[in-house]
């Protein structure tokens, strides 16, 4: 039971990270209709900058404060230099160009920081455990991630539904030409949205840095999971991204934690562990397949 | 010279180079070239199979490497079973194992085609961005699947003791193996050429240009696209069977989506929708990587922007550039 | 004994949000006739065609074709049953030649296309019908030209030829003369007229001269409803129609 609670929290933590990644990506899909394979690179850059600045300054907060604008700036830059020219192109061109960017960033990071992975310690103030539920200690840092993620989700929701900028975003998402016709500065809006998405990815990367190895290519696996979240949640929908992310985070974590044990009641131990591990690694994809069979456009697609 | 004339010249020159390569390599004192070119030929087969989807069917699949990897693993697992016996608790997969190419290779092709059928059946219910992401996700699922198979090496991969036996030929001899790869590519190209000009091929090309009209004419487009997807998967499976033999080693990295990306690059770089283009693309990319790697270990730093530039400025492809035509489809 | 009505709709209803595009629409098309559907812009004529063809699903009501209830049938299934259509904006296979375009149209109705070896361009079963179509629609001179490079009027003719390629029992024509010059218009009108008795035609058109000269039956639509249906003379004389659409000076 305690293990279950702990794993649920882990699932929420993964879910919240996935949401930070998915929010930016789904907005870019929904508004600019652009598929961006370099999104994971923003996550990676956030992690590297956070790790380096934290190491140099001794303060995780500083690391965070450096990583976010860094990711946003790089995002702004690639939008202006490359992506802007891709909005009108077909998806194949977008895939190729952003794949090229991904390769570039992977190599760049290796040149600047070397091939060895960086390891970062969890900030001292959050190094302990918190007993939210008596008897269930949970790492404070992971709890902080969950809290941060939920706060950001709340802030995004507020931004999209209660501010003028949010209205412009929604207008552009549903009808680009109309939005331009009524005077929305679309190019500027696109740059802003993209930079925002990049900053969110950078935030996710910064928070992941103390728990994972910071290395070239680290953005790739989370990118695929982000795609799965967006497909399940529905392209262009923040609500879909949030619920999809939590769903994916929980399914993945719980499957890895409990499938092997569950299977032991059916199969001999070694087979159960093997099959369990395999199935668990495939769980979110099977979830995606199931959702697609039932709702090809995702669970909460933005209105077309 | 006309375009057709240039095409003929280029293809003849290319074929000539490939046919006499082992001899040339021998004279030049660079026997490793035979091995390198075997690799190029194998990736060319995979790239050509992707061109069927991409260049003729307008199905942008970012998960094609999955079928490449599945084919390779089929061969490797069968070889493993043959030498070590099936692992305990393999259950359904307690096959006897074999080193006979005439059994292993067709099996690899069939399993890849089957997997492609399943993935295609789900993916083709979508289109556009969805389709790209879903093919990507399913391929990555298979990557994780093979990565989790501890019995077959997991992420360390699986070595095989020796190359398969192909009807008495000694595939351990690099030159013999090279010619087997070359013949395979030749036959595959021929089959693909007939395929794209056949009634089936016309249906696929019609679907790529105007699927709405195809349906209005009475074609059940989903079924045809699915079959095309399976055929392409089968081709990649054949390439996979060959790569397992070439490197005598398989690992989950064969299925990683960045490998799918490389295949995509080969097709585009070479010129999509031409079948021959991807062969040039494979040659250019793999030779280019090797050459660049001699100068710098960070060759990806240059390949990346190079790709971006190619996309932003032109998509004629190397083949298109060489024969002097405009966009693809001319 | 073939029924007299080839196509009929019963209380077809389709709305897009607050806009009602089709309201309790009941059309009846007799076998072999040329039935014109006219009405002001926005009356919902193209929506009707799209529902008949299967591109849109009606919210309520049913469609019967050749004795079958086809309301739930897919686009391609209806086409295979003999219900062909053209589009308001010609949609062709621009990268393929005129011959290849027609080949596809013919191929769709010659059994399955799971043939992987023989070149479609040399397939005798396809060449003959394609030749006949090229001649009939006066496209012979353009046979090897890319569809994408054709003049507008030629595209409309090719569009029509492709719809005819499968030897349909019924044609849905969505403004076949739109954007064509007077000569092209006349050719197409003559072609459609020549189909009388062989192929049933439901035709949406704005050119009143053409409509009144070739149609056997005319149905008038206004704001999603059919306000009159009958012979050209009866429609011309109908006071409701005069008021709503034709104007007093016709």
Q: What pLDDT score was predicted for residue A186?
A: 80
Q: What pLDDT score was predicted for residue B327?
A: 41
Q: Residue A217: pLDDT above 90? A: no
Contacts of C89 in chain B (CB under 8 A): none
Contacting chains of B (3 CB pairs or more, <8 Å) are A, C
Contacts of A235 in chain B (CB under 8 A): 129-130
How far is residue A21 CA from its own chain's centroid? 2
State whether B60 and A91 contact (CB < 8 Å): yes
Q: What is the mean pLDDT of residues A7-21?
A: 93
Report the number of secondary-structure helices (H) and strands (E) in chain B. Answer: 12, 2
Q: What pLDDT score was predicted for residue B201?
A: 95
Q: What pLDDT score was predicted for residue C250?
A: 45
Contacts of A230 in chain B (CB under 8 A): 133
Q: State how far the Cα of A174 lies from the Cα of B282, in Å rounded to an integer.
A: 41
The dihedrals phi and psi of C111, each to the nearest 5 degrees, come to 75, -150
Contacts of C82 in chain B (CB under 8 A): none
Dihedral of CA A277/A282/A287/A289: which sign?
negative
Strand partners, C230: C218
Beta carbons within 10 angstroms of residue B154's beta carbon: 16
Q: What is the mean pLDDT of residues B11-15?
A: 88
**Exposed/middle/buried for residue B211 (C-beta within 10 Å: 0-12, 13-18, 19+):** middle
Rounded to the nearest angstrom, the minimum Cα separation between C24 and chain B is 26
Q: What pLDDT score was predicted for residue B297?
A: 74
Cβ pair A280, A263 in contact under 8 A? no
Better pLDDT: A245 or B8 = A245
| Shortest CA distance from B197: residue in chain C | C119
Dihedral of CA B244/B246/B251/B253: which sign?
negative
Helix extents (H) in B124-220: 128-148, 174-197, 199-217
Rounded to the nearest angstrom, the minimum Cα separation between A75 and chain B is 16
Cβ pair A119, A210 in contact under 8 A? no
| Shortest CA distance from B328: residue in chain C | C95
Nearest to A95 among B60, B145, B258 (CB): B60
Q: What is the mean pLDDT of residues A182-207?
A: 90
The dihedrals phi and psi of A248, each to the nearest 5 degrees, come to -65, -45
pLDDT > 90: percent of chain C: 47
For residue range B33-69, what is the model confidence (pLDDT) as tens digits? Answer: 899 999 999 999 999 999 999 999 999 999 999 999 9
Contacts of B202 in chain C (CB under 8 A): 100, 103-104, 107, 113, 120
State whether B216 and C75 contact (CB < 8 Å): yes
Decide: helix, strand or coil at residue C12: strand
Residue B154 Ramachandran class (φ > 0 left, ψ -120 to 50 alpha, else beta) = left
Decide: helix, strand or coil at residue A77: helix
Decide: helix, strand or coil at residue C20: strand
Domain residue extents for chain B? 33-260
Rounded to the nearest angstrom, the minimum Cα separation between A140 and chain B is 30
**Cα–Cα nearest to B138, from C228, A128, A224:** A224
Cβ pair B250, B80 in contact under 8 A? no
What is the interface pTM, i.e. ipTM, of the complex? 0.91
Better pLDDT: B186 or B155 = B186
* Residues 6+ away with beta carbon under 8 Å from A37: A95, A98, A99, A101, A102, A223, B261
B-C C-beta contacts closer than 8 Å: 96
> For chain A, what is the mean pLDDT?
88
Q: Which of B196, B197, B206, B230 to mutate to test the interface with C (most CBs of C within 10 A)?
A: B206
What six digits make up the tokens of B256? 């990683």
| Residue B197 forms contact with A (CB below 8 Å) | no
| Band of residue A235 on the pLDDT scale cut at 50, 70, 90 | confident
**Cα–Cα nearest to A99, from C46, B300, B321, C237:** B300
Q: What pLDDT score was predicted for residue B69?
A: 97
Contacts of B129 in chain A (CB under 8 A): 29, 33, 35, 91, 235
pLDDT > 70: percent of chain B: 91
Contacts of C94 in chain B (CB under 8 A): 209-210
Q: State how far the Cα of B225 lies from the Cα of C2, in Å rounded to an integer.
A: 37
Rounded to the nearest 5 degrees, what angle is found at the Cα of C219, between the Cα atoms of C217 and C225?
165
Rounded to the nearest 5 degrees, what angle is found at the Cα of B252, between the Cα atoms of B295 and A51?
65
**Cα–Cα nearest to C21, from C52, C43, C53:** C43
DSSP state of C225: E
Q: Residue C230: pLDDT above 70? A: yes
Decide: helix, strand or coil at residue B173: coil
Cβ pair B180, B193 in contact under 8 A? no
First to last CA, chain B: 16
- Which domains are assigned to chain A? 9-121+139-294 (1.10.3470)
Nearest to B200 among C91, C93, C116 (CB): C116
State whether A270 and B88 contact (CB < 8 Å): yes
**Cα–Cα nearest to A71, from A51, A50, A100, A85:** A50
Q: For tokens 């946003």, what's the residue?
A: A72
Q: For tokens 């003049």, what's the residue?
A: C151
State whether C166 and B198 contact (CB < 8 Å): no
Contacts of B264 in chain A (CB under 8 A): 95-96, 99
Q: Residue B326: pLDDT above 60? A: no
Cβ pair A213, A51 in contact under 8 A? no
| Residue B128 forms contact with A (CB below 8 Å) | yes
The dihedrals phi and psi of A264, each to the nearest 5 degrees, come to -60, -20
Nearest to B298 among A33, A35, A110 (CB): A110
What six digits make up the tokens of C86? 């053209």
Q: State how far the Cα of A127 lies from the Cα of C44, in Å rounded to an integer.
A: 67
Strand partners, A133: A136
First to last CA, chain C: 41
| Shortest CA distance from B225: residue in chain C | C114
Nearest to A285 among B91, B141, B151 (CB): B141
Q: What pLDDT score was predicted for residue B87?
A: 65
State whether B202 and C117 contact (CB < 8 Å): no
User: Quick check: do B and C touch, 3+ CB pairs under 8 A?
Assistant: yes
Q: Which of A88, A104, A105 to mutate to test the interface with B (most CBs of B within 10 A)?
A: A104
Chain B window 208-237: which residues touch C at a Cβ cutoff of 8 Å?
209-210, 212-221, 224, 227
Q: Which of C85, C87, C91, C107 to mutate to test the interface with B (most CBs of B within 10 A)?
A: C107
The dihedrals phi and psi of C222, each to the nearest 5 degrees, come to -140, 125
Nearest to C93 among B199, B210, B221 (CB): B210
For residue range C116-158, what is the model confidence (pLDDT) as tens digits? Answer: 999 998 899 999 999 999 998 889 999 999 999 999 888 988 9
Q: What pLDDT score was predicted for residue C163?
A: 93
Contacts of C74 in chain B (CB under 8 A): 215, 220
**Exposed/middle/buried for residue A265 (C-beta within 10 Å: 0-12, 13-18, 19+):** exposed
> For chain B, what is the mean pLDDT?
88
Rounded to the nearest angstrom, the minimum Cα separation between B223 and chain A is 17
Rounded to the nearest angstrom, the minimum Cα separation between C4 and chain B is 25
Contacts of B89 in chain A (CB under 8 A): 267-268, 270-271, 274
Q: Residue B316: pLDDT above 70? A: no
Cβ pair B147, B154 in contact under 8 A? yes
For residue range A238-262, what is the model confidence (pLDDT) as tens digits? Answer: 889 999 999 999 999 999 998 888 8
Q: What pLDDT score was predicted for residue B217?
A: 95
Contacts of A268 in chain B (CB under 8 A): 89
State whether A220 and B258 contact (CB < 8 Å): yes
Q: State how far the Cα of A148 lies from the Cα of C93, in Å rounded to an integer.
A: 53
For residue range A98-152, what is the model confidence (pLDDT) as tens digits? Answer: 988 998 999 899 889 988 888 888 887 777 887 777 777 888 888 889 999 999 9
Decide: helix, strand or coil at residue B255: helix
**Exposed/middle/buried for residue B96 (C-beta within 10 Å: 0-12, 13-18, 19+):** exposed
The dihedrals phi and psi of C218, each to the nearest 5 degrees, come to -125, 130
Three-state SS for A5-29 is HHHHHHHHHHHHHHHHHHHHHHHHH
For residue range B258-311, what is the model confidence (pLDDT) as tens digits? Answer: 899 999 989 988 888 989 999 999 998 898 888 888 877 777 778 788 877 777
What six digits make up the tokens of C214? 């070739």
Cβ pair B210, C158 in contact under 8 A? no
pTM attached to this predicted model: 0.90
Better pLDDT: B283 or A270 = B283
- Which of A86-95, A253-262, B72-81, B102-111 shows the lowest per-residue confidence on average (mean pLDDT)? A86-95
Q: Which of B197, B216, B226 to mutate to test the interface with C (most CBs of C within 10 A)?
A: B216
Q: What pLDDT score was predicted for residue B329?
A: 41
**Where does A8-149 show beta strands of DSSP type E?**
129-133, 136-139
Q: What is the mean pLDDT of residues B10-15?
A: 88
State whether B202 and C119 contact (CB < 8 Å): no
For residue range C49-61, what is the model confidence (pLDDT) as tens digits? Answer: 999 999 999 999 9
**Cα–Cα nearest to A161, from B256, A153, A295:** A153
Q: What pLDDT score was predicted for residue B330?
A: 36
Nearest to B198 among C77, C117, C166 (CB): C117
Show which residues on chain C lie within 8 Å of chain B, measured between beta carbons.
Answer: 53, 55, 74-77, 79-80, 84-85, 87, 91-96, 100, 103-105, 107-109, 113-121, 123, 126, 162, 165-166
Write out the H or E segment, with its range, that includes residue A221: helix A218-233
State whether B308 and A220 contact (CB < 8 Å): no
For residue range B203-240, what is the model confidence (pLDDT) as tens digits? Answer: 999 999 999 999 999 999 999 999 999 999 999 999 99
């Amino acid at each position: 039971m305690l293990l279950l609670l702990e794993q649920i929290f882990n699932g929420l933590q993964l879910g919240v990270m996935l949401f930070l990644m998915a929010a930016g990506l789904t907005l870019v899909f929904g508004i600019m209709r652009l598929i961006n394979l370099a999104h994971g690179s923003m996550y990676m850059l956030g992690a590297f900058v956070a790790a380096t600045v934290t190491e140099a300054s001794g303060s995780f907060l500083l690391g965070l404060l450096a990583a976010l604008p860094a990711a946003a700036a790089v995002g702004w830059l690639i939008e202006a230099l490359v992506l802007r020219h891709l909005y009108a192109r077909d998806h194949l061109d977008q895939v190729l160009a952003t794949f090229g960017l991904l390769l570039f960033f992977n190599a760049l990071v290796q040149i600047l920081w070397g091939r060895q992975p960086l390891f970062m310690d969890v900030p001292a103030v959050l190094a302990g455990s918190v007993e939210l539920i008596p008897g269930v200690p949970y790492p404070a840092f992971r709890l902080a991630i969950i809290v941060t993620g939920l706060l950001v989700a709340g802030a995004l929701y507020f931004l999209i539904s209660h501010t003028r900028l949010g209205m412009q975003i929604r207008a552009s998402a549903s009808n680009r030409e109309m939005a331009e016709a009524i005077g929305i500065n679309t190019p500027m809006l696109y740059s802003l949205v993209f930079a925002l998405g990049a900053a969110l990815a950078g935030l996710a990367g910064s928070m992941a840095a103390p728990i994972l190895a910071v290395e070239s290519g680290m953005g790739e696996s989370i990118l695929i999971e982000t795609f799965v979240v967006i497909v399940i949640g529905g392209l262009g929908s923040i609500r879909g991204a949030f619920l999809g992310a939590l769903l994916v985070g929980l399914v993945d974590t719980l499957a890895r934690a409990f499938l092997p044990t569950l299977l032991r009641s059916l199969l001999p131990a070694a087979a159960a562990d093997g099959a369990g591990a395999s199935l668990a690694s495939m769980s979110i994809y099977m979830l995606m397949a199931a959702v697609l069979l039932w709702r090809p456009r995702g669970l909460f697609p933005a209105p077309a | 010279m006309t375009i057709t004339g240039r095409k003929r010249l280029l293809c003849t020159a290319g074929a000539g180079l490939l046919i006499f390569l082992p001899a040339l390599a021998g004279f030049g004192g660079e026997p490793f070239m035979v091995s390198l070119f075997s690799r190029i030929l194998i990736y060319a087969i995979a790239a050509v199979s992707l061109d069927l989807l991409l260049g003729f069917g307008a199905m942008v699949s970012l998960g094609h490497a999955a079928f490449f990897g599945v084919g390779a693993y089929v061969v490797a697992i069968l070889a493993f079973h043959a030498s070590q016996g099936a692992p305990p608790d393999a259950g359904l997969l307690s096959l006897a194992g074999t080193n006979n190419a005439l059994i292993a290779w067709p099996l690899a092709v069939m399993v890849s085609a089957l997997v492609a059928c399943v993935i295609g059946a789900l993916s083709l219910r979508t289109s556009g961005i969805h389709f790209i992401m879903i093919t990507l996700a399913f391929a990555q699922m298979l990557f994780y699947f093979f990565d989790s198979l501890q019995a077959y090496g997991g992420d360390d991969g699986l070595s095989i003791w020796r190359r398969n036996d192909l009807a008495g030929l000694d595939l351990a001899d690099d030159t013999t193996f090279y010619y087997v790869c070359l013949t395979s590519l030749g036959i595959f190209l021929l089959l693909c050429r007939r395929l794209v000009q056949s009634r089936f091929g016309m249906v696929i090309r019609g679907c790529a240009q105007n699927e709405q009209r195809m349906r209005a004419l009475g074609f059940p487009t989903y079924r045809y696209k699915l079959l095309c997807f399976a055929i392409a998967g089968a081709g990649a499976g054949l390439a996979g069977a060959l790569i397992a033999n070439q490197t005598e080693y398989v690992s989950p990295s064969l299925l990683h989506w960045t490998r799918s990306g490389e295949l995509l690059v080969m097709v585009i770089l070479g010129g999509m929708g031409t079948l021959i283009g991807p062969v040039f693309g494979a040659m250019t990319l793999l030779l280019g990587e090797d050459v660049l790697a001699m100068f710098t270990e960070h060759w990806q730093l240059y390949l990346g922007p190079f790709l971006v530039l190619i996309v932003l400025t032109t998509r004629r492809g190397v083949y298109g550039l060489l024969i002097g035509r405009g966009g693809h489809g001319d | 004994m073939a029924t007299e009505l080839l196509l009929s709709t019963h209380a077809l209803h389709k709305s897009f949000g607050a806009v009602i595009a089709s309201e309790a629409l009941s059309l009846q098309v007799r076998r072999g006739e040329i039935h014109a559907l006219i009405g002001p812009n926005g009356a919902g004529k193209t929506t009707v065609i799209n529902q008949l063809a299967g591109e849109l699903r009606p919210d309520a009501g049913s469609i019967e074709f050749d004795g079958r209830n086809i309301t739930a049938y897919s686009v391609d299934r209806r086409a295979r049953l003999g219900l062909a259509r053209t589009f308001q904006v010609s949609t062709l296979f621009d990268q393929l030649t005129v011959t290849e375009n027609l080949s596809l149209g013919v191929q769709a109705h010659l059994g399955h296309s799971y043939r992987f070896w023989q070149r479609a361009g040399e397939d005798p079963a396809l060449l003959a019908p394609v030749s006949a179509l090229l001649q009939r629609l006066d496209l012979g001179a353009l046979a090897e030209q890319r569809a994408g490079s054709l003049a507008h009027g030629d595209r409309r003719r090719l569009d029509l030829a492709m719809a005819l390629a499968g030897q349909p029992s019924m044609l849905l024509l969505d403004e076949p003369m739109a954007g064509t010059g007077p000569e092209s218009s006349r050719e197409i009108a003559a072609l459609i007229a020549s189909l009388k008795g062989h192929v049933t035609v439901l035709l949406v058109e704005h050119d009143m001269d053409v409509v009144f000269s070739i149609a056997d039956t005319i149905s008038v639509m206004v704001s999603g409803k059919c306000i009159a249906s009958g012979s050209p003379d009866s429609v011309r004389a109908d006071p409701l129609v005069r008021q709503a659409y034709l104007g007093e000076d016709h």
